[in-house]
A and B are shown apart, each in its own frame.
Chain A
Amino acid sequence: MQNNIRESLFRPELLKRIVIYGLLTLLLGSAQCSFFPLLNICPSTPDLIMGMLLGIILIDSDKSAAVVAVAAGFFIDAIGGGAIALSPLVYCLFVLFISLFSRKMLTSFASFALLMIPALLYRGVATAVCMAIDRRALVPISELFGVIGPELLCTAIVCLPLYFAVKLCAIPLETHSKFTF
């Protein structure tokens, strides 16, 4: 029994995933927390982790994306989060939400672009909820649009090329197994 667990934990396929997605999370999370917030030409900080998760869902699997979502959410909150650390839950629910649409899709860029629509919708709702929790009050619509609009625009623009980055990083994984919940 113990041997079986050990074997399943130290599968080369799993280790590769941990290393690749770990590095990707480290790089994109750092960029999301330290590069984009300081960039003057960028009106809002794009959600790179969301783009990465979208790519993983499409190219790898929902399962991998769910694990990465929880870890990346925790990491994002650790390096740039506030007192209320909602990111693991937000990203986990994001994977769940997107996997509703992704199962019958091809692993192509067009699918990725198409999946951006529900992803952005989710991001908008998540931002609104997070703002409301943070302020402990409903945020006025005009202010909400002022925050969400630029955020979604930046996320859409910056995340589209992420598909290729994730695809490139997933090459060493070789197998394309579509795990589903």
Chain B
Amino acid sequence: MNFFKSRFFILCLVAAIVLTLIPTLIAAFGGTDLLRSALGTVAKPFTMCGSGIANAFNGFVEIFTQYDELKEENAALREELEALKEKEYNEELLREQNAWLRDYINLCNEHPEFVFTDASVIAREAGNYSTVLTLNKGSAHGVKRNMPVLTSKGLLGYVSELGLDWCRVTTVIEPSSSVGVYTDRDGQLGVLEGDSQLKQNGLCRMSYIGGEGNVGIGDRVYTAGGKDSLYPSGLLIGTVSSVDIDEVTGEMVAEITPAVDFGALESVRNVMLISGIERDTGE
């Protein structure tokens, strides 16, 4: 064995021992080896590059090695997502139903004299501006022609067409509609009519304003009722949004913004029909 006689080998071995001992001792005493940290800095771009390539390679290999696992996980997650969507949908339905029932109770408390029948909107007029709705209740459910139809916000219209288990509602803003009304401030009487132009903006007109014509913006408008009226007295229709003088007749006319947003009728899902009036409410 001539290794131990070789000066070169002995030098290398001594260097190796020194380079083993010095960093170990420095680390043991909690110091920092400047040469090692410098080498680490020099090698940093290479190590970063190496780890980057390894990560990219792992990502590529995972496509093949974890395909089945990922597929199963994907299916499970899809199933879970469907279940959550279903749950959310059911919750949304319950929330809507709850809101509807609360409105229904409020309306019942507000008008204890009326007998209400609830109904849902099942179809809308196929035009761009729907003001005729189809409900899921008909003559079989006790619904009769000309019955007033309300939402929780206000008067919607009346039953204009009747089937066995369906009926159609013509809204108060239709040009064919005409209702006797009064304002809440001074009890000013008038007639609320549909207007083909105003209808486009979801509005209607109050005309034949009698007396001193004391109608102001913001006045609330209610149905006046009466013997020949389709509607009982005291149903909110809307508020006065502008007052003007008719150029032809010279009479005062007012534009009414209905409480029901006829521009967003698609959001109306549940309505109430006044199917009867109890004149004696326990008195």
B55 within 8 A of A: yes
Which residues on A are within 8 Å of B, measured CB to CB? 26-27, 29-31, 33-41, 63, 66-67, 69-70, 73-75, 77-81, 83-89, 91-93, 95-96, 99, 181
Contacts of B245 in A (CB 8 A): none
Which of B13, B43, B48 interacts with A92 by CB under 8 Å?
Answer: B13
A31 to B105, CA, bound (A): 75
Contacts of B55 in A (CB 8 A): 38
With A74-B39, A78-B36, A96-B3 already in contact, the answer to whether A83 and B15 are too (CB < 8 A) is no
A73 to chain B, nearest CB (A): 7
Interface string of B1-15 (1 = CB under 8 A from A): 011001011001101
Please state if A181 and B54 are interface contacts (CB–CB under 8 Å). Answer: no
Interface string of B35-67 (1 = CB under 8 A from A): 111011011001111110111011001100100
Q: List 8 A-B contacts (CB under 8 A).
A: A31-B50, A40-B58, A67-B12, A75-B43, A78-B40, A83-B27, A89-B20, A181-B6
With A73-B16, A78-B36, A79-B43 already in contact, the answer to whether A30 and B8 are too (CB < 8 A) is no
Please state if A88 and B16 are interface contacts (CB–CB under 8 Å). Answer: yes
With A39-B58, A41-B61, A96-B9 already in contact, the answer to whether A88 and B15 are too (CB < 8 A) is yes
A13 to chain B, nearest CB (A): 16
Please state if B27 and A85 are interface contacts (CB–CB under 8 Å). Answer: yes
Which of B3, B50, B57 interacts with A30 by CB under 8 Å?
Answer: B50
Count CB-based A-B contacts (< 8 Å): 116
Please state if A74 and B19 are interface contacts (CB–CB under 8 Å). Answer: yes
Contacts of A80 in B (CB 8 A): 47
Which of B2, B20, B53, B65 interacts with A35 by CB under 8 Å?
Answer: B53
B3 to chain A, nearest CB (A): 5
Contacts of B9 in A (CB 8 A): 66, 96, 181
A39 to B3, CA, bound (A): 39
B126 within 8 A of A: no
Contacts of A69 in B (CB 8 A): 12, 16
A36 to B65, CA, bound (A): 18
With A69-B16, A77-B36, A96-B9 already in contact, the answer to whether A181 and B2 are too (CB < 8 A) is yes
Please state if B15 and A70 are interface contacts (CB–CB under 8 Å). Answer: yes
